[in-house]
Chains A and B, each alone.
Chain A
Amino acid sequence: MSIGLITNQIISGITLGFSYALVGAGISLIWGTLKMINLAHGELYMLGAYFAWLAITLGRIPVIPSILIGIVCVVIVSLVIQLTTVRPLLKDTKELGTKPYVLTMGLSILLQNSALLIFGERYQNIPYYIDKTYKFFDGKITLAGQRVLIIAASFSVIVALMVVIKYTKIGRAIRATAQDGVYASVMGVNVRLVYATTYVISGLLAAVAGIMLAPIYSVNPWMGTAVQTKGMACCVLGGLGSVEGAILGGLVIGVAESLTVNIIGTQWKDVVAYLILVAMLWLRPTGLLGKKGSV
């Protein structure tokens, strides 16, 4: 195997890793504040891709407004989901347990099959947003513009998220709620607002990931499930509740997958990714960046 090939694989692994990280960051954020796994996260990703596809192919709207339309629509959908289903459930926070798991699973079945009924089971395609290929070292290393765009968009969205969490008022409220919801509300944090905001931000992350990846993978009602499982694996690998962890986990799994494709074969890439997760957690149960004692 030539060095050029390996480099190409690593680059595509990094692209993959960033998109997993974007999905994982949303799951991680929700776990951090709401202490629940959102199994409908993949469906928000799927809806983002569908809304963008509707705007681009049926609405004939230019790319950048279409992307914004997709994001706004998903933000509205996730706000509706939060207000109608998650909020009633959060009334008794003590006995949350496994209920959110089943609730969001029901939501996922609902959204997936609604999409199937509305958009049909045909796989839809979105043209590449950037249709250029960059070549380096006499064409040994190629870089598709779409991949550069994915890395750039994911990176900037994640950095923006981290800035919001670290430096803004709502970010401080989110961190306080993540540490202790009851205590935060005693200190005057509007916890219900924080829950709603977190859910909406996570929906936004899912939408960005879905819209960015839609040109590479075709748009279909089931596209969210596989990515969601990967995203969850990444954020658990990195340490749940930390956005940095989701990025690191995403990169590890993405690169491992791309290399497996070349070394062992395409059909074994998911096996390798999941086994890495299980082995890593056996050695370090808190995840790569998780705090000791938080598990």
Chain B
Amino acid sequence: MQPGFIVCLLFFGLLAIFPLIIRESYILHVGILCMMYSCYTSSWNLVSGFAGIFGLGFQALAGVGGYVSALLVINRGISPWIGIFIGAFCSMIIGAFFSIPSLKMKEMPYIAISSMCLGEVVRLIVANTPEVTRGEMGLSGMQDFPNIGPLSFSGGNRTSYWYLILVFLILYVTIVNHIVKSPLGRAMNAIRDSQSAAASLGVNVTKTKITIYLISSFMMGVIGGFYAHYMQVLTPSSVLGPLTMTLIVAMVLVGGNATIAGPIIGAFALTITTEFLRIFGDYRLVAYGVIIVLSVIFLPQGIWGTLRLKILPYLNKKSEKSITT
């Protein structure tokens, strides 16, 4: 077995027994947020890290999933289990539009800025149609997920939500791992390194880009639906505002771009840091800004990238030495 696989098993095993040991609701909530952001970052990393397309505005894709699912559950009485997948399907359709800027443009700021503007368009449309979405007053009154066996989701039971999001996270890591090793993943890598070279070697650039956007936006949409039913309230500024995207980008970069573990490490590190910074009171966000700036300057490869580059070779050398001596 590979060492990476063992670490992965240990990590998920730890997460699985965590709620059995610690039952404090606040800590479980932070953990759920960590895993939720890990899912977001893993989905976005498919586009930004592995395919090298710096598309922004992905918070809108998650938000669309959440809003569609919540509206269907509230107005049509559909089970949330079906709702989140219909929502994710809608995110996928919107995701197709979001892939448009990346199809014709190659340089980073053009893609980044135009997709950021698309994200703003989605937020403004939701905020400007209060008769459907209740705008900034907030959409609430979604049903809880129906129970599965012993897991009851009523009243925002943290343990059940913990296991639900853990299942999603494991699923997402598996999916990302599969995609990266599949022909699609190789095509994505080729596009990241050089589009013209990839095209000349027979990679269908347009098709690859659209496919990866569709997969990523579906994944965002599912977690957006999860968020809607977990948090029980949606407002355009909190769900669709650019701050969520800012967090996702910071997490991926702090953790380590274009790796599977990096975005998850970044999501856990920054979410937990944000909670710890609460002791600074009003200075919390100032400290947060300082941490991001310092980590970009001193950990240019991200936490995981630096670990991999600096520490792992050292460990390997050591173990080699111990074998030879």
Contact = CB atoms under 8 A, between A and B. Distances in A.
A83 to B, nearest CB: 12
Contacts of B120: 229, 270, 274
Nearest to A226: B120
Interface in A30-71: 31, 37
B290 A110 contact: yes
Q: Interface majority SS on A: helix, strand, loop or mixed?
A: helix
B81 interface: no
Interface string B250-266: 10011001000000000
Interface string B100-122: 11001111111011101110110
A231 to B, nearest CB: 10
Contacts of B109: 31, 37, 232, 236, 240
A281 B118 contact: no
B121 A275 contact: yes
Contact of B110 (A99, A103, A270, A285): A285
Contacts, number: 129
Given A102-B249, A113-B286, A236 B293 contact: no
Contact of B286 (A110, A229, A285, A287): A110
B230 interface: no
Contacts of B249: 98, 101-102, 105
A281 B293 contact: no
A105 B104 contact: no
Contact of B297 (A103, A233, A267): A103
A46 B114 CA distance: 23
Nearest to B119: A274
A278 interface: yes
Interface in B172-204: none
A127 interface: no
B246 interface: yes
Given A109-B289, A110-B286, A271-B125, A89 B116 contact: no
B110 A114 contact: no
Contact of A105 (B250, B257, B290): B250
Given A109-B288, A113-B286, A274-B121, A103 B114 contact: no
A95 B300 contact: yes
* B interface residue count range (under 10 / 10 to 19 / 20 to 34 / 35 or more): 35 or more
B113 A106 contact: no
Interface in B272-313: 282-283, 285-286, 288-293, 296-297, 300
Nearest to B116: A229
B54 interface: yes
A179 to B, nearest CB: 15
A78 interface: no
A180 interface: no
A288 to B, nearest CB: 13
Contact of A268 (B100, B116, B128): B128
B113 A232 contact: yes
B289 A113 contact: yes
A117 interface: yes
A218 interface: no
Contact of B250 (A97, A102, A233, A267): A102
A275 B121 CA distance: 8
A142 B92 CA distance: 48
Interface string A255-282: 0000000000001101100110110011
A3 interface: no
A141 B4 CA distance: 71
Contacts of A232: 109, 113, 116
Contacts of B100: 278, 282
Nearest to A100: B296
Nearest to A236: B113
B69 interface: no
A101 to B, nearest CB: 7
Contacts of A156: none
Contacts of A113: 283, 285-286, 289
A102 B289 contact: no
A274 B282 contact: no
Contacts of B296: 89, 99, 102-103, 106
A270 B124 contact: yes
Given A103-B296, A271-B121, A295 B48 contact: no
8 contacts: A97-B108, A101-B54, A102-B250, A109-B288, A109-B289, A117-B283, A267-B127, A271-B124
Closest 7 CB pairs of A and B: A110-B289, A106-B292, A109-B289, A274-B117, A113-B285, A106-B293, A285-B104
Given A277-B117, A281-B101, 19 more contacts: A97-B108, A98-B54, A99-B253, A102-B253, A106-B291, A109-B286, A113-B289, A114-B286, A117-B282, A232-B109, A236-B109, A236-B113, A240-B110, A270-B120, A270-B124, A271-B124, A281-B110, A285-B105, A295-B107
